[in-house]
Chains A and B, each alone.
Chain A
Amino acid sequence: MKHKIYIVHRAEIIRKGIFSILKKRFNFEIIQLEKVDDLSGLEVLSDFKILFFLETDALKDVSAFYKIRNTNIVRIVGLSSDNSLQPIGIYDDVCPVYTSGSRMIRKVADFFENENEAVLEHEGEELSTREKEVLKLVALGNSNKIIADKLFISVHTVISHRKNITEKLGIKSISGLTVYAIINQVIDTENINPEDLI
């Protein structure tokens, strides 16, 4: 079963903070989104184990979250900016945004327990399978929109993957990523002249 974590919060600093803490420990796909409306494509997910961190004040339409629970294992953790620690509505759990990193990690680890293979033993730079798919499409010259359509994910998710790829590899330009993809055989260059891609 594949794993995913969504961090949905309007403050960039909170998203990035949680992201960087979790990324160091877990080898899951972690997606950062600014608002719940950006969460498109959820309905096509099935057989995933998904953890949501959702800003508690921002949630209005919750129907998508009910549906997704039918075909996936889901846990929704509310990120609250005040002291309201009682889970209500769709939340399974509530956690203050100012909580410690170690508590955050424990919450994630508890949910994904017994799935040790997904927990990073050490800080790895290796791209996830999904990131490799995105990279491949980037290298072949596809736009974010086309990549989103091909992989059945939202454009925001594509952008989030691209950010992660760039951070992991330390390569920013499209042609630089293409070079990486060729060297590391992410794309099959048997039928194409690799130099044409760059």
Chain B
Amino acid sequence: MVTLIRTNYHLLPVINRFGIRLGFKDKTIEEICDQHKISSDFFLAIVNTFHNEDYFPEEELLSFSPHLIVRYLKRTHQYYINYILPKMESLLEQLNNDCSPNCKELKIIDAFYKRYKDELLNHINDEETRVFPYVVELINNPRSMDPNFTITEFEKEHSNVEIQLEDLKNLIIKYIEPVYDENICNEFLITLFRFEADIKDHARIEDAILVPLAIAIEDKYRG
């Protein structure tokens, strides 16, 4: 486990989502998973999806419990809502407060950020109220699945949130006026970059694990 974190420290929030915290001693991944009653196959699938863009756990896929995946994804959402978004907001606020009276650009970027945040929260809410319950129901009760909904519909909706995040980043890098506190701005931008990477990995877990799992069941029972 120590080697894992040393290899890629971006996995820190990921292991936290499993309830795993530092102080590993010399325990192996297997031992720590056992201790936390986590399926080590599932843990490794998530970690690998994060670590390696091309990783796709095809063979084990159907053996994962959708409850596990959904629980994990919801924890990630909580991490965004409770930690990342407030952090970005507070940095943006500091940036605005620090700027001399007429910082038109920053105010507009702030407005854009708020718009992005609304869309992200909508997207998260949509997943938690429609998509996740649909998948759980699909597993528990495949014969009575909702005929008006398919998992592939939701896959398409990912893109918009990602595009806006990228725009936010580009707008700041390219068009901000140079009257700002550079340290705060850098930290804001670094947080954005990190968040962008994390949210892409998050989307990939949905696309590489949750969606194929649901499609497999849909195909089997819809015939």
A residues neighboring B (CB under 8 Å)? 169-173, 175-176, 179-180, 182-184, 194-195, 198
The docked-state distance in angstroms from the alpha carbon of A172 to that of B112 is 13
Contact assessment for B108 and A183 in the assembled complex, using a CB-CB cutoff below 8 Å: yes
Given contacts A170-B174, A173-B160, A173-B163, contact A198 B168 (CB under 8 A): no
The binding surface of chain A is classed by DSSP as: helix
Chosen A-B contacts, 5 in total, with CB atoms closer than 8 Å, are: A176-B170, A179-B108, A182-B108, A183-B175, A195-B107
The docked-state distance in angstroms from the alpha carbon of A183 to that of B115 is 17
The binding surface of chain B is classed by DSSP as: helix
> 19 more A-B contacts (CB under 8 A) besides A170-B170, A172-B163, A194-B108?
A169-B170, A169-B174, A170-B174, A172-B166, A172-B167, A173-B164, A173-B167, A175-B116, A176-B170, A179-B108, A180-B171, A182-B104, A182-B108, A183-B104, A183-B175, A194-B107, A195-B107, A195-B108, A198-B115
Question: Which residues of B (89-110) have their CB < 8 Å from a CB of A?
Answer: 104-105, 107-109
On chain A, the residues within 8 Å of B115 by CB distance are 175, 198
Given contacts A171-B167, A183-B104, contact A176 B175 (CB under 8 A): no
Return the CB mask of B208-221 against A: 1 if under 8 Å, else 0: 00000000000000
Q: Is B5 an interface residue (CB 8 A)?
A: no
Contact assessment for B174 and A179 in the assembled complex, using a CB-CB cutoff below 8 Å: no
Q: Which of A172, A173, A184, A194 contacts B111 (CB 8 A)?
A: A194
On chain A, the residues within 8 Å of B105 by CB distance are 183
The docked-state distance in angstroms from the alpha carbon of A198 to that of B171 is 14
Question: Which residues of B (152-180) have their CB < 8 Å from a CB of A?
Answer: 160, 163-164, 166-168, 170-171, 174-175
Contact assessment for A175 and B164 in the assembled complex, using a CB-CB cutoff below 8 Å: yes
The docked-state distance in angstroms from the alpha carbon of A147 to that of B175 is 26
On chain A, the residues within 8 Å of B116 by CB distance are 175
The docked-state distance in angstroms from the alpha carbon of A170 to that of B160 is 15
On chain B, the residues within 8 Å of A182 by CB distance are 104, 108
Question: What is the distance, in angstroms, from A98's C-beta to the closest C-beta of chain B?
Answer: 34
Question: What is the distance, in angstroms, from A191's C-beta to the closest C-beta of chain B?
Answer: 15
On chain A, the residues within 8 Å of B109 by CB distance are 179
Contact assessment for B108 and A176 in the assembled complex, using a CB-CB cutoff below 8 Å: no
On chain A, the residues within 8 Å of B174 by CB distance are 169-170
Q: Which residue of A lies closest to B109 (CB)?
A: A179
The docked-state distance in angstroms from the alpha carbon of A12 to that of B14 is 41
On chain B, the residues within 8 Å of A184 by CB distance are 175
Q: Which residue of A lies closest to B171 (CB)?
A: A179
On chain B, the residues within 8 Å of A171 by CB distance are 167, 170-171
The docked-state distance in angstroms from the alpha carbon of A182 to that of B109 is 10
Q: Which residue of B lies closest to A170 (CB)?
A: B170
Question: What is the distance, in angstroms, from A12's C-beta to the closest C-beta of chain B?
Answer: 20
Question: What is the distance, in angstroms, from B165's C-beta to the closest C-beta of chain A?
Answer: 9
On chain B, the residues within 8 Å of A175 by CB distance are 112, 115-116, 164, 167
